Structures are given as structure tokens and as C-alpha cells.
């Protein structure tokens, strides 16, 4: 199936995709703030510039979009039908980079928790899991 927008329009759409302060990230920040925790954002001195950093607790929360970071068995992790080779390579690189960053952070003594975009559909459950992670 061909794209329903021309190449120039698709380029503009893709250029507008943000990596910081996304809706899922803002939702997680709101939950964490409501639990009474304060954090630093996008710390440049840490591998991968993690989304939320809790230095006093040595905890990091990564907020991943299911599509871009390939959440396994998630309906939001669909693959585009065109340029399949390009997307397979892109997604594989994203997943490998995520694994590498988590390994580096753990070696540095950080505990890492990943929040998937689809988990925001059940905020009560996510709030409990975040509170458990941050309180230990």
C-alpha cells in the first residue's frame, strides 16, 4: 500500500516526532510527581540521556514508545508495509541501542525501569509499579 501523503509531507511529519517531553513521558512525570518524587530530566552525562533520573535513589525511568522501541507482543508495535528493509534495520538498531544503554547504566550502579507507552492505558497499575520501583 502506498503512503497516503507525498514524500515532502511525510518528511515534515517525521521531523515533528520528538524525543523529549513526549506525551507518554509527560504522563509518567505527572504520575511520579504525584507520588511525591522529584527527578532530573534528560541528564546528558549518563548514557542515552535517560528520561527521568532520581539521583538520590540511584534510579532511572525510561519511557519508550511501543512503535519505535519495538515492545514485544504489543499491538502498537506494528511495522510499516513499505520500505520494510529500512524499517527492520532501523528498529533493530533502536532495540540494540536500548539494550546497550541499559547495560551501561546498570554497570554504573543505576537501577533501570522501562515504562512502555501502552502501560499508560492503565495508570493505576503503572502508578503502583512506579511507586514500588522508586521506594526500594
What is residue 2's predicted lDDT score, i.e. its pLDDT? 62
Give how many domains the chain has, as a whole number: 1
* 13 part of a folded domain: no
| CA–CA distance, 17 with 13 (Å, rounded to integer) | 7
C-alpha cell read off for 42: 534528560
59 near 135, Cβ under 8 Å?
A: no
pTM, two decimal places:
0.86
Question: Which helix (H) or strand (E) covers residue 52, if one does?
Answer: strand 52-54
pLDDT means over runs of 10, the chain (136 residues): 74 72 93 97 96 97 94 90 91 96 98 97 97 94
What is residue 54's predicted lDDT score, i.e. its pLDDT? 98
* 9 part of a folded domain: no
| CA–CA distance, 95 with 27 (Å, rounded to integer) | 23
What is residue 20's predicted lDDT score, i.e. its pLDDT? 76
Strand partners, 59: 54, 111
Instruction: Identify the domain containing residue 27 by its residue range.
Output: 18-135
Q: What per-residue string of b and e applies to 11-43 under the rule 16 or more CB within 10 Å gives b?
A: eeeeeeeeeeeeebbebbbebbeeeebebeeeb
69 near 47, Cβ under 8 Å?
A: no
* 10 part of a folded domain: no
Q: What per-residue string of b and e applies to 82-107 under the rule 16 or more CB within 10 Å gives b?
A: eeeeeeeeebeebeeebeebbeebee
| CA–CA distance, 86 with 9 (Å, rounded to integer) | 19
CATH of the domain at 108: 3.40.960.10
What is residue 66's predicted lDDT score, i.e. its pLDDT? 93
* 116 part of a folded domain: yes
* 5 part of a folded domain: no
* 81 part of a folded domain: yes
Amino acid at each position: 500500500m502506498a503512503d497516503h501523503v507525498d514524500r515532502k509531507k511525510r518528511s515534515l511529519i517525521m521531523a515533528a516526532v520528538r524525543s523529549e517531553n513526549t506525551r507518554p513521558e509527560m504522563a509518567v512525570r505527572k504520575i511520579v510527581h504525584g507520588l511525591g518524587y522529584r527527578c532530573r530530566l534528560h541528564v546528558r552525562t549518563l548514557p542515552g540521556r535517560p528520561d527521568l533520573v532520581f539521583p538520590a535513589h540511584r534510579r532511572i525511568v525510561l519511557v519508550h514508545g511501543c512503535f519505535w522501541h519495538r515492545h514485544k507482543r504489543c499491538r502498537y508495535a506494528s511495522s510499516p508495509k513499505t520500505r520494510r528493509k529500512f524499517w527492520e534495520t532501523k528498529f533493530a538498531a533502536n532495540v540494540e541501542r536500548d539494550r546497550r544503554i541499559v547495560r551501561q547504566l546498570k554497570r554504573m550502579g543505576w537501577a533501570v525501569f522501562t515504562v512502555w507507552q501502552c502501560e499508560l492505558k492503565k495508570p493505576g497499575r503503572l502508578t503502583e509499579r512506579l511507586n514500588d520501583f522508586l521506594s526500594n
